[in-house]
Amino acid sequence: MGMPATIPAPIALSPRVVVFDYGEVISRAPSADDRAALLARAGVAAPDAEAFWAAYWAHRDELDRGTLPIADYWSLVADEIGATWSDLDVHELWAIDHRSWLSVDPGTLAVLHALRSGGTRLALLSNAGPDFGGWLRHGSFAPLFEAVFVSGELHAVKPEAEIFEHVMRELGIGPEDLLFVDNKAVNVDGAVAVGGAGHVFEDAAGLEAWLRALAA
């Protein structure tokens, strides 16, 4: 059994609101085992893995926007790599893929708790299909956030201005109070483009340093 994790000293940034991405910020990236399991179930041999991942990501924005049903998404992936999958195959591919994104990074969670204990308002904004809504709203970390925004429910994705403007309206803030954290620079640029400030996440230590500098 490992040592109990500790929560850092509070970080107070009120009236600013810190809006967090989910994937690869709060969650960890899918592991090598996760990726291997998906390739195996898809029937993709190692030499063809690169083509599979290219097809996997090619239509992800449409899936995350909520305009492409899950079955249609996997059909497009199959078409691009020359695979044939039954409806039952697709159910399993979806489940393996979905589970691979359900994890937490304890370092990021410690920072979230420090912000919360400092009275800082928090929200979550994820590019994800509507099938992730339950996990994001009802997982153990969900009470840390006053609002959860899922792109697949809003039919808009980061880095589009529309989704950041929606978030600010719902939170009742102007761009000067928007602090956005994402692992993708293009998404952070989207927040900056509407007048907010942002941090490109690499690790929890860098995130905490950025937030404490703002608090100081």
- For residue range 127-171, list pLDDT tens digits in order: 999 999 999 999 999 999 999 999 999 999 999 999 999 999 999
pLDDT digits (tens, 9 = 90+) for 57-87: 999 999 999 999 999 999 999 999 999 999 9
Global pTM reads: 0.95
Task: Give the integer Cα–Cα distance in Å for 207 and 108.
Answer: 8
Give the confidence band of 176 by pLDDT, cuts at 50, 70, 90: very high
State residue 90's pLDDT score. Answer: 98
State residue 2's pLDDT score. Answer: 63
| CB environment 83-106: b (16+ within 10 A), e (fewer) | bebeeebbeebbebbeebbeeebe
Over residues 190-214, the mean pLDDT reads 98
Task: Give the integer Cα–Cα distance in Å for 127 and 20.
Answer: 11
Please provide the average confidence, as pLDDT, over all residues in the chain: 96
Is the pLDDT confidence value at 4 over 90? no
Q: CB–CB of 62/69 below 8 Å?
A: no
Written as one letter, the residue type at 43 is G
Percent of the chain with pLDDT over 90: 97
Q: How many CB atoms lie within 10 A of CB 197?
A: 16
Label residue 119 left, alpha or beta by phi (over 0 means left) and psi (-120 to 50 means alpha).
left
Fold of 17-29+103-215: Rossmann fold (3.40.50)
User: Could you tell me the two tokens for 78?
Assistant: 């199959």
Task: Break the chain into its structural domains and give their ranges.
Answer: 17-29+103-215, 32-100
Written as one letter, the residue type at 208 is E
Element holding 158 (H helix, E strand): none
